[in-house]
Chains A and B, each alone.
Chain A
């Protein structure tokens, strides 16, 4: 029972994704077309990249509620600088990613130096980022963006299937994060810090530095997500990011990463984001109300956390 529960927590997300996809493929002949699958990837790329940052944070037993709002701030900053600021598009993108990275660094600083709980710190920075976004943009969407800002929303044909540059960027980032967590000392320190912070500290790991690095890296991820969001919608949107913070937690949890820290696989979060995207797409194809998508997501989240709990108890 114990081993089976643990295996289910790891394999569960993949099985759920396959089951859902099979179901929708049987319901609609459109579902399995390359075009449709490409679309699902485009729809999940923003939450997918945000979820990389969120996974790193949750692996340390933390949580980042500010990710959506920080993303909105980064997106508006790059859009404003590139249009009204007269900055070259590349520099504007750099500045936007810079802003979100600094936001992540500040989260990390408050958590490690003043020893405030991540939930509270990021609740605060979520509000600060929202307010700053409204102030700098005067609550107006920024339009007429230069092509470089929307490039990641464009697609290139691979065979007959369109693939968005943004989706490739997301896959590359997942590859990088996977390598970082699996192959580097920093990755192992991260897992150790999340699993048992006191034991990790006593064994010589600079846990505060690990945490600071994690929140800063997460901030950088939100900057890339901001660029993806801007590219996808074609505007710098000050109302963006209002649901994304919890959407990322959903993706991470569905992906099998433990909210108690120390356990999980980064690629699981991509699978988690895809599960949500597949349901939204598939139910629309079937003509089913989006209320059911919300219902299914809720059930899956509870199921995923229950599996995690029983795996924990089994240890």
Chain B
């Protein structure tokens, strides 16, 4: 009796599934959050490329940065929905690995976008920014702008143990010509020129607090490295309150439209711009190649990084803020 009643519903469901497959293969995209402009841009890029290639994009995300459970749920749901390939920007490099392994065992191609897994080969391939290189670019720029003056550096970092944060930090010191760790390190180097270090969690208000506290002990600071542009804005706020915003160089990483504007306005000396749209396009293209020909991508693909600075420095190639604004992500 119950089974009979359920029959029409089951038929309807089967038809619905058929409709989905009619609209092309399914590709999943899982970002860290739905709300961060970086990932909003990434989703736009993936959506546009998927449509152009005749595929359907399913988007999912964690609730906030670090929400591994939310990403696992999204991944499981997308595999259940029939996704042949999933692009994922992992919140927690290690914790997501078992869920990805399960998906790959089910025959799904998994590509890491923007943030790699740990170990790197837990996914089929990784497309993202070379964060160490991003750090090197702003380090070399800050060094050139500072001239021969002795460096007194403050670093406003992300959170302990985050590979992206460590690569940017250590790359910055490397580019500056200071003692540093190589790209495989997950610890933050602290040569004597770095007078103060603190974690701002990538958040403007918390970065401001770190900068204020550092200024208390080290008012002589002349270079500030920040993990991202909101942190740079927080550092600038603190320096402005101390009347120091004109004579301290703040450098950052991301290339969001707001950050590029801060470069144009002279709040940030320079930023290293990354390209989420490009990551998404490459990811969807690789997914389609796999779906149509079975050919899997592998290894690491650098999606590019460029320096954006209002004042060019000798020996360092950079984009102007106007050029950076044309390629920025977020709301222009």
| Residues in A lying within 8 Å of B, measured CB to CB | 28, 30, 33, 35-36, 39, 42-43, 134, 139-141, 143, 155, 229, 232-235, 237-240, 242, 280-281, 284-285, 287, 289-291
Main secondary structure of the interface of B (DSSP, over half): helix
Check: B19 CB closer than 8 A to any chain A CB. Answer: no
CA distance A36 to B208 in the complex (A): 14
Apart from A139-B35, A290-B198, 5 more pairs, CB < 8 Å? A33-B216, A280-B209, A284-B210, A287-B217, A290-B199
CA distance A280 to B26 in the complex (A): 47
- B205 A232 Cβ-Cβ under 8 A: yes
A229-B205, A233-B234, A237-B204 are known contacts. Are A36 and B198 too (CB-CB below 8 A)? no
Chain A nearest Cβ from B114, distance in angstroms: 18
Chain A residue nearest to B214 in the complex (CB): A284
CA distance A155 to B243 in the complex (A): 13
Enumerate chain A residues within 8 angstroms of B230, measured Cβ to Cβ.
141
- A232 B208 Cβ-Cβ under 8 A: yes
Enumerate chain B residues within 8 angstroms of A42, measured Cβ to Cβ.
212
- B64 A39 Cβ-Cβ under 8 A: no
CA distance A156 to B237 in the complex (A): 17
CA distance A287 to B196 in the complex (A): 6
| CB < 8 Å neighbour of A233 from B199, B204, B214 | B204
Chain B residue nearest to A229 in the complex (CB): B205
Check: B213 CB closer than 8 A to any chain A CB. Answer: yes
B contacts with A, residue count (CB < 8 A)? 29
Enumerate chain B residues within 8 angstroms of A33, measured Cβ to Cβ.
216
Enumerate chain B residues within 8 angstroms of A36, measured Cβ to Cβ.
216
- B197 A287 Cβ-Cβ under 8 A: yes
- B204 A285 Cβ-Cβ under 8 A: no
Enumerate chain A residues within 8 angstroms of B278, measured Cβ to Cβ.
none
Check: B331 CB closer than 8 A to any chain A CB. Answer: yes
Enumerate chain B residues within 8 angstroms of A143, measured Cβ to Cβ.
258
Chain B nearest Cβ from A234, distance in angstroms: 6
- A289 B160 Cβ-Cβ under 8 A: yes
Enumerate chain A residues within 8 angstroms of B212, measured Cβ to Cβ.
39, 42-43
- B35 A285 Cβ-Cβ under 8 A: no
A134-B35, A139-B40, A284-B198 are known contacts. Are A240 and B205 too (CB-CB below 8 A)? yes
- B258 A141 Cβ-Cβ under 8 A: yes
Chain A nearest Cβ from B229, distance in angstroms: 11
Enumerate chain B residues within 8 angstroms of A139, measured Cβ to Cβ.
34-37, 40
Enumerate chain B residues within 8 angstroms of A155, measured Cβ to Cβ.
241
Chain B nearest Cβ from A240, distance in angstroms: 7
CA distance A280 to B199 in the complex (A): 11
Chain A residue nearest to B209 in the complex (CB): A43
Check: B124 CB closer than 8 A to any chain A CB. Answer: no
CA distance A235 to B267 in the complex (A): 15
Chain A nearest Cβ from B161, distance in angstroms: 9
User: Digit string of B298-332 for contact with A (CB within 8 Å is 1, else 0)?
Assistant: 00000000000000000000000000000000110
Check: B203 CB closer than 8 A to any chain A CB. Answer: yes
User: Digit string of B163-196 for contact with A (CB within 8 Å is 1, else 0)?
Assistant: 0000000000000000000000000000000001
